[in-house]
Amino acid sequence: MTQDVFRETTAEPRTQAVPLSHLSLELGHLYMEDFEGGRPRLEQHFARVRPWVEAARAAVPAPAGGKRPRIATCFLIDDYFTRFSSPAALVPLLLEEAGRAGLTIDYLARESSCAVSGKVPVAEAVAGRIVESPPPGSYGLRPPAAQTGWLANGERSPAARAAQAMKQPPAWQPPRETAARNHSVFLDVELWSDGPDGRLWSCPFLAAVWQLARLGLLRNEGEAVFTAQPHTGTGFPDDWDELPPLIRLNPKADPFAAYRTCSVLPTRFLPVEHAVRVVLDQLDVDQGALGQAAARAAGEREPLPDSVADRVSYVFYAGP
């Protein structure tokens, strides 16, 4: 005897699809101290970025059917850790210097939107999807990241404890990377810190959220989190909070999100982006969003790694 199961259609979660480019190309991820250097600092940055941007564009394979690859450029401004000047003063300067270098910024994003976008607590939601990979042979003595705010890619050195009477203290043991090749490169990432003003998300964790946004893998109750707002008018607001989380500056731009990302950054970001990979490797990413990206890629005969972290690439240039 079979039993029919009735289910409300509204109870089925719907995952909103987002358009996808082939590559999301980040032209910069600068902080307010960079902008304090003024026009010469921005001029130097874009001059160093340009040849690598051209190389990244050239490396994107032509899609099936002889069509051109879809490539969208983006730029992230820090308005989370520090507030400096105003969008009205900085954004036109940024766009002007990029244009002088022959570069076009299609999308502009605020780093604070990686913490909270509108009314959506994005960082908190992503933190709730952390699934730690227990190192082989571990016994669960380490508190979870949800309690400590720290996430590692392996097993820490055991904490030193007072030796019992008539017993030798335990011998020191090195930390171990879970997926080490011959030798370990152990990394322990601080995800946030709590203080009197509330929770402060770390730069690596917000950068991981930024990568998920660029890969089109962020959802809130099935709805896409980062939706670009077209820039209308000739100016920009005086307050950062009045600037949308994500702005489409180029009306002819390809979609913001993409199958893969590439970021052209100064070398000082290398440890941050190593930490980003540690975070991405231990996230339970929205399965509906992953499935949509995989199906779209298969339909376009676009190879797409199963690992989210492997969809992310970088070019690091030396300099200030």
- The answer to whether residue 147 is domain-embedded is no
- The answer to whether residue 134 is domain-embedded is no
- The answer to whether residue 283 is domain-embedded is yes
Total number of domains in the chain: 1
- The answer to whether residue 170 is domain-embedded is no
- CA-nearest of 97, 109, 29, 42 to 316 is 29
Q: Could you tell me if 237 and 243 are in contact, meaning their C-beta atoms sit under 8 angstroms apart?
A: yes
* Domain of 206, in residue numbers: 15-128+193-317
- The answer to whether residue 159 is domain-embedded is no
Q: Could you tell me if 45 and 37 are in contact, meaning their C-beta atoms sit under 8 angstroms apart?
A: no
pLDDT in tens, 39-94: 999 999 999 999 999 999 999 988 877 789 999 999 999 999 988 889 999 999 99
- The answer to whether residue 167 is domain-embedded is no
- The answer to whether residue 236 is domain-embedded is yes
Q: Burial-class residue 26 by CB neighbours within 10 Å (0-12, 13-18, 19+).
A: buried
pLDDT in tens, 7-21: 444 455 688 999 999
pLDDT in tens, 175-227: 888 888 889 889 999 999 998 989 999 999 999 999 999 999 999 999 999 89
- The answer to whether residue 40 is domain-embedded is yes
pLDDT in tens, 240-276: 999 999 999 999 999 999 999 999 999 999 999 999 9
